Structure 1
Amino acid sequence: MSTNNICINQFDEVELLGTKFHKVSVQELINFIVSSASIDKKTVVGNVNVRAMNFACEMPWYKDFINRSDLVFCDGFGVLLGAKMCGCGVNSEHRMTCPDYIENLASACERENISLYLLAGKPGVVDQAINKLQIIAPNLKVKGHHGYFHKSGIENEYVVNEINQFKPDVLYVGFGMPLQERWIIDNFDRINAKVFLPLGACLDFYTGAVYRGPRWMTNRGLEWLSRMFTEPKRLWQRYVVGNPLFFYRLLKERFVKIFKKGGKASSIY
């Protein structure tokens, strides 16, 4: 993947477990996406949560995808908490979830004449999302296709051709991690889009196809708890195993760094 350095130096970078993300606010993220969509160069905007961090520890190609992305924002309270534990100077404005800002992004795209292609969700979800977005941004140039297609072969070729005929400035891909990132890598050079934006189940939450939980929980970083009780069979391992594993890895890394520093100090004297 090629990279785009437009205004990227203005954002401080945080590294946890060898994987980066940037200290960026919602408005800064939207400005970056819109600005990047206005130049003739491909840009990748990644995001990290606890699950992404665990994938990065287990799959080198996934870590490489995140670290080579032009901008990476934090989409998980656990990652924000981990960064705070490590003294990285982050705060609540550096963590965001797509359903909370997708309408602001659509409005910014409409204002700057930026086209948007939505590739995500079960059949019907994209249509619902487009209808909602066009209420907010009636002149938005937007098109979409569901995400339930074979990611190789004839079906994939059809979807790629559909995208290329539309030539979107921003391509939102929502298959869930790590499938969406793998698909972007495999099709990156063939797709005529300027900004690649993997955003998981954003449209499912935005349209109400999947319940996020009450606002008081989502605002306090407890969305994972609500989701786990809503879909326990599918999500219990992700949260019950994944969350403690992330913090174990983080603490282990911290202790190793402290031990190495202590070792160097003793060898000097």
Structure 2
Amino acid sequence: MFVSNPASVLRFKNHPLPRRSEIGATQRVPILGVPVSTVTIERAISTVGDWIGEGESRYISTCDVHCIMRARSEPNLLAAFNAADMVVPDGKPVEWTARARTDQPMTRVCGPDLMLELSKRSAETGWRHYYYGGAPGVAEDLAERMSKRYSGLQVAGTWCPPFRPMSEAEQDEEVARIIDSGAQIVWVGLGCPKQDLWMHTHAHKIPGAVSIGVGAAFDFHTGRIARAPVWMQKNGLEWAHRLSSEPSRLWRRYLVMAPQFLVLSGLETLEGKARARKTFRQTGSLDGR
């Protein structure tokens, strides 16, 4: 591919992942080793619909700065992201970084918004939802609220796993419960990294279901935690709202990990663009062909 301004375009190769089919396949932009999908929320919703129609087991990870920084030092989490069928940019810094590295259209796709939009669509399609996670009673409350908000929404079931290590037999029993429910969308609200590790291990066992890790969406949509105002969400300031709400729990995430991410990802972006310029000068093509 020839371009008039090679510095303005940086092509990253799709992350190679084994697939039973290529329905909904997306281009990936690697950010500090994590393959982030270049998607919009509209395309994500459309792809989920395609997967449900296809009848295969899939899973989507929602990835923010915290997730990427943890994956750098946790091989199991990185493996879960690499195996995911889609890794959506849940957070403005991740979106901004990815957009600086690709010419593909993409937007932030955060878990709470994805849950609302898919619930709205499901009220028309009849897709069955299962809510897995949260503190005791939260999943049931969430299912009730979603059903009231979106008339016609089909709830397959709810379950709150115990806050302790579970035996293999207990995990198998939980998965069997989800399978028996006939769920087509499984909302996993365990937070990162637990939800991603759970999906990596169990999502493929649930026939015809798309599992989606949505973290704090369970608490946001049941009113247990207040979301930032929309203007803060759109301008990348949601972190400030969350930090002020839960400083003792989130200070390290936003005051240590976030600055580290900005420096490391910025250097990685500059290095990639320098390589692209060098390749273009040598071959006349950004990918060396």
**Structure 2 gap segments, 5+ residues each:** 1-16, 281-289
Matched, 1:144 2:144: no
Q: What letter corresponds to residue 115 of structure 1 in structure 2?
A: R
Structure 2 SS opposite 1:118: strand
Structure 1 SS opposite 2:239: helix
Instruction: Name the CA shift for 1:170/1:21 in 2 (closer, same or farther; >3 Å).
Output: same
Structure 2 SS opposite 1:37: helix
Query: What percent identity do the matched residue pairs reach?
Result: 24
Shift of 1:5: 3.9
Which structure shows the bigger proportion of residues in helix conformation?
1
Instruction: Name the CA shift for 1:193/1:147 in 2 (closer, same or farther; >3 Å).
Output: farther
Residue matched to 2:110: 97
Matched, 1:134 2:147: yes
Structure 2 SS opposite 1:38: helix
Q: TM-score under structure 2 normalisation? A: 0.80
Matched, 1:212 2:227: yes
Instruction: Name the CA shift for 1:220/1:259 in 2 (closer, same or farther; >3 Å).
Output: closer
Matched, 1:82 2:94: no
Residue matched to 2:284: none
Are 1:56 and 1:62, in contact at CA under 8 Å, matched by a contact in 2? yes
Q: TM-score under structure 1 normalisation? A: 0.85
Shift of 1:213: 2.2
Alpha-carbon separation, structure 1, partners of 2:113 and 2:165: 28
Are 1:83 and 1:90, in contact at CA under 8 Å, matched by a contact in 2? no
**Structure 1 gap segments, 5+ residues each:** none
Residue matched to 2:171: 156
Paired residues, number:
263
1:31-86 deviations in whole A, cap 9, x for unaligned? 111221122211121222111111222222322221222222111111122234x4
Alpha-carbon separation, structure 2, partners of 1:222 and 1:262: 33
Matched, 1:43 2:58: yes
Map 1:59-78 → 2, pairs under 5 A: 59-78=74-93
RMSD over aligned Cα, in angstroms?
2.8
Matched, 1:106 2:122: no
Matched, 1:232 2:284: no
